[in-house]
Chain A
Amino acid sequence: MKRPIRHARPATPRAHSSRARLLTRIGAIMASLAALSLSGCSVLSRGFLAPGGPVAHAERHEFFFVSVVMLLVIGPVILLAPLIAWHYRLANTKSAFRPQWGFSWILEGLIWIPPTIIVIVLAVFLVQRTEQLDPYRAIPSNLPPLQVDVVSLDWKWLFIYPELHIASVNQLILPANRPVHMSLTSGTVMQSLLMPRLAGQIYAMTGMVTQLNLAISEPGTYWGENAQYNGDGFVKQKFQVMGVTPADFSHWVASVKQTPKVLDDKAYHNLSQESTIPQPITFGTVEPGIFAKIVHQVIPPGDAAKHEEAKYDG
């Protein structure tokens, strides 16, 4: 999206007559409305209509495709309903009146067959695209995918890089142009991971592992969130996704490894308490196999119940 246009130039310098003044004013209003809607349009650049990777890109394509087809379908209704009602209004004595007319094979054909054909066409595409964009399907590439294990907690995201033995909270750094494979579980209630410019949602659920594949095309800053309501800190459960060059990525990994924090049972247990965190955290060391332990609930889950007991006031 373009930068918003901030200023409307005065329309004419010779705005003397009241009519011209009126026009100027209308022009100014129109211009500011346009500016408003343009600045509003940057909303769309937050989402998958401004894709940052192949998955979101394909999903945007599918969105436009279905939208255009559907516009063709609903357009006639939007035009016909008011037009026919107006033409056949009681006051129009010129329009024909046939109160006993209630059936026509031709019209029946027209209202049943074309919609059926359109649905069949859409269905064919739907099957293909659902198959291609299955979140479990690996992104084709000659690089091996980077594995990230994701744990949803109240109210933060834990990202474990099992091959690199590091972890981060509420910050996801990924190498651009390399496929990423995520395994998700939850350390608390069900949540839904959404990175609007990168990949669609998948739920994270306790005791289960779901998967998500994605890739980032260009280095840049993106964002992600939990889209499934899970309590007071829900809106704060957002995080930055940074796509970086491979060199920067190695650099970042090396710097994280320097940090003294260790993600072990105890650290995880503390992390899993209900809380929001102001700044991302990184763990330089990760106890091997911790993700499996979380999935199999070997580590006792967060003390949400106790917490609730304390908070409980009716």
Chain B
Amino acid sequence: MTIWHILLGRLTWSSLAFVRAWRDPTLSELIGAAAAAIAVGGAVVLFGLLTYLRAWRYLWSEWLTSLDHKRIGIMYMVFAGVMLARALIEAVVIRTQQAIAINNQGIVGPEHFAELFSTHGTIMVFFVGMPLLIGLMNYVMPLQIGSRDVAFPYLNSISLWLTIGGGIMMMASLVVGKFSTGGWSGYPPYTELAFNGGVGPDYWIWSVSLSSLGALMTGINFAVTIYKFRAPGMTWMRLPLFTWTSLCTSILMIFAVPPLTIATLMLAADRYLGMHFFTNDLGGNMMNFVNLFWLFGHPEVYILILPPFGVYSEVVSAYSSKELYGYTSLVIATMAIAILSFTVWLHHFFTMGQSAPINAFFGIATMLIGIPTGVKIYDWIWTMFWGEVRLNTAMLFSIGFMVTFVIGGMSGIILATPPVDYMVHNTLFLIAHFHNMLIPGMLYGVIAGYYYWFPKAFGFRLSEKWGRRTFFCFFVGFYLAFMPLYVMGLGGVARRSQELFDPTLRPWTIVAEIGALLLFTGLACIFIQLYVSIKQRHQTRVPVGDPWDARGLEWSMSAPPPEYNFAVIPQVSRRDAFYWRKKYDGAYRPADHYRDIELPKNSMCGILVGMGLTACFFGFVWHIWWLAFLGFAVAFGTAVVRSFNRDVNRVIPAAEVAAHDRRWLDRAAAARPIPRHLELTPENEGLAKWQG
């Protein structure tokens, strides 16, 4: 064993994407090298820019070490935005490949193609979907329940940095080594040493482990926050719907994520310690992995779908100028979905040879979920009924969601019917189905919520014009990209196909390609929207904080909110608390007296633990044992040392709180109340005119 081996483990020159492309300059390798160059170049540019702007200190002290749930939420979303860009580009490459590679090799080779669908799926689920939603919940949920922060701010920071660590591993796999080819589900025995000896499956195992650890801690954190940190009077049946869905999601994360962590760690044990949990020989059984994975995997899709359901509930009610229809029904439906989601996992492998009664049982359980889901959609429709609907970006996305999502529901019921599933399982039909659920269900919802809460978080509105363009691209793009996949799936085209052999598929793959490009344009529109909105921010400021005449407590403070959220913790006496306060004229009044507020101090422990564990896992991937040990020591040591530190809070004196509050109240008093039809004009300063 040479010194290099000890220092660098399995790393060699040819681990580098650039070196591989140099030695073997095929188109496929060049594309890989270009992706690596983008990753490295992006990092270098970012680093240079921050240095040039001398922004490091600000970034470190105000953001990276912050324990403020609002900042952590924003960091989650920025991170997810970057990952979304990568995963969407990968989707476009996949679609381009299938559009070209009909009876030829296309642009990427088989192994590269497999890496692409594996990273796309893994990133979209773990590093786009989860962080987008966790970010949104982080920002909004404590504000909605009248709390100053989440229950465990330091844990929150650790969760963030573990998730980002997973993302860093995904990015590293572009540059050094290769990612898994086993798909986002990583089924063994294909991912066992016997069939995949490289670092790919290890990258998958460890980045998913980081994400799952982060998600589990977030689940605990949010659940405790909602149980324990509600403002006085915020009883269960007064919780805003988004908080309800956050609670259910947290519970799902607590119960559903551990099976995944266990499954990936058992696979790691197979690969590193010579165990035989899922191998072909010596009593291993991969069916156990499949069960564990989907015991996580199905609830996971509800982790991704429930919070957007909460967003839609808030958005549709606010922009219909109306109370939510069927609050109780919605709560029951949310709970029902959360519970039922644990009873259906077997529908992901109807074809594994169980007996017919077992398949029938799980098929029916799956159909049952359709009932509460349908109820929810009707509740939103009846919320618009007798309302005054403002058809802005968020509403367009909401209506687009309702119309599109039910089509996915239809294909879901089709897939839940075992005899039909035997035919379309593992085909593009399935791919079309779950994108039909996740793009309207998750992405549209996040975009709607982003549009809705952005003014609260940053103090100015987003451009409506670019919002509509985004909607056009995402709505039309979705249909073009995925309806052809339904058709091809019915024609028996297997998913994950790097090459197709039937020219009659061409029209469909071309339409799907156009759709994917349109979806990508949609993402570009989102970024342009952000840029344009920042430039125009002077005309769209809403400092008083209630630009939409909305109903929850999160609208009852300035925009952006002070770091302590509430000058005084509000007293809640009914649902839609802020709405009724506005009605009875108590919304913009000074408190009787202000108190000192205690907030957590910034801490670099979160980032140390997160990055320490990331280094540890990176060491595992490459068998660089000293790095693994060092990383673990840093993470563990930080956690221990920090636990001795009692001086973790700081105090904001009452006078400062009062002064801030008074400034805001003066502003509110000076602002002109705006009727709804003027809310998109520069006159909207965030003070809503009361209407019956």
B642 touches A (CB below 8 Å)? no
Tell me if B367 and A123 are in contact (CB < 8 A). yes
A252 touches B (CB below 8 Å)? no
| Residue interface bits A196-209, CB-to-B below 8 A is 1, else 0 | 11011111011110
- What's the nearest-Cβ distance from chain A to residue B109, in Å? 8
A36 to B504, CA, bound (A): 9
- What's the nearest-Cβ distance from chain A to residue B422, in Å? 2
A111 to B379, CA, bound (A): 8
Tell me if B492 and A46 are in contact (CB < 8 A). yes
Count of A-B residue pairs with CB < 8 Å = 344
Query: Which residues 99-132 of B have a CB within 8 angstroms of A?
Result: 110-111, 114
**Which of the four size classes fits the interface of chain A?**
35 or more
A197 to B371, CA, bound (A): 32
Tell me if B420 and A59 are in contact (CB < 8 A). yes
| Residue interface bits A219-251, CB-to-B below 8 A is 1, else 0 | 000000111111111110010000000000000
Note all chain B residues with C-beta closer than 8 A to A301: 280-281
> Which of B154-162, B193-201, B442-450, B540-548 lies at the binding interface?
B193-201
Q: B418 contacts which of A126, A188, A309 (Cβ < 8 Å)?
A: A126
B323 touches A (CB below 8 Å)? yes
A44 to B423, CA, bound (A): 13
A192 to B370, CA, bound (A): 28
Tell me if A85 and B351 are in contact (CB < 8 A). no
B293 touches A (CB below 8 Å)? no
Note all chain B residues with C-beta closer than 8 A to A299: none
Q: A59 contacts which of B196, B328, B419 (Cβ < 8 Å)?
A: B419
A110 to B410, CA, bound (A): 19
A126 to B356, CA, bound (A): 10
Tell me if A313 and B14 are in contact (CB < 8 A). yes
A190 touches B (CB below 8 Å)? yes
> Which of B358-366, B454-462, B652-660 lies at the binding interface?
B358-366
A85 to B316, CA, bound (A): 10
Tell me if A297 and B280 are in contact (CB < 8 A). yes
Closest to A128 in B: B360
Q: B322 contacts which of A58, A101, A108 (Cβ < 8 Å)?
A: A101
Number of interface residues of B (CB under 8 A): 117
A143 touches B (CB below 8 Å)? no
> Which of B249-257, B296-304, B399-407, B586-594 lies at the binding interface?
B399-407
- What's the nearest-Cβ distance from chain A to residue B629, in Å? 22
Tell me if A314 and B15 are in contact (CB < 8 A). yes
A192 to B504, CA, bound (A): 24
A98 touches B (CB below 8 Å)? yes
A199 to B416, CA, bound (A): 17
Tell me if B487 and A97 are in contact (CB < 8 A). no
Tell me if A190 and B187 are in contact (CB < 8 A). yes
A63 to B417, CA, bound (A): 8
Note all chain A residues with C-beta closer than 8 A to B353: 135-136, 202-203, 208, 210-211
Note all chain A residues with C-beta closer than 8 A to B187: 189-190, 228
> Which of B51-59, B389-397, B516-524 lies at the binding interface?
B389-397
A272 to B419, CA, bound (A): 31
Tell me if B505 and A43 are in contact (CB < 8 A). yes
Answer whether A201 and B492 are a contact pair too, CB < 8 Å, given A46-B502, A99-B321, A312-B197: no
Tell me if B110 and A232 are in contact (CB < 8 A). yes
Among A40, A42, A85, A112: residue with most chain B CB under 10 A = A85
Note all chain B residues with C-beta closer than 8 A to A137: 356
| Residue interface bits A163-201, CB-to-B below 8 A is 1, else 0 | 000000000000000000000000011101010110111
| Beyond A59-B423, A203-B353, 15 extra complex contacts between A and B, CB < 8 Å | A40-B504, A42-B504, A43-B505, A47-B490, A78-B407, A82-B399, A112-B375, A130-B356, A130-B357, A133-B419, A196-B491, A206-B280, A225-B492, A234-B497, A297-B280
| A-B pairs, 5 with minimum CB distance | A200-B422, A196-B492, A314-B15, A227-B426, A133-B419
